[in-house]
Amino acid sequence: MTIVLAPSLARMLREYADFYVETYASREEVADLIPFMIEAFLESDAAFKKGKKRTPAEPLSSN
């Protein structure tokens, strides 16, 4: 999978990687951190979790 980032988001991710090394004393490449960040975001998204519980035949709510 390939993604394109806005320059501002790319900058924030580099800043996060700098923060990470200061906090955990371990340098990680941004590309190595991104999957964990996305996974944490998806696992914390209540609407996404609720939507995953639907069966495939159930339509999305229009609310």
pLDDT value, residue 54: 74
Quote the mean pLDDT of the chain: 90
- Residue pLDDT, tens place only, 22-46: 999 999 999 999 999 999 999 999 9
Amino acid in position 22: E
Q: How far apart are CA 57 and CA 38, in angstroms?
A: 27
At 29, give phi and psi (nearest 5°). -70, 145
| Residue 57 predicted with pLDDT over 80 | no
pLDDT value, residue 10: 97
Which of the two residues, 61 and 18, has the higher pLDDT score? Answer: 18
Average pLDDT, integer, range 46-50: 89
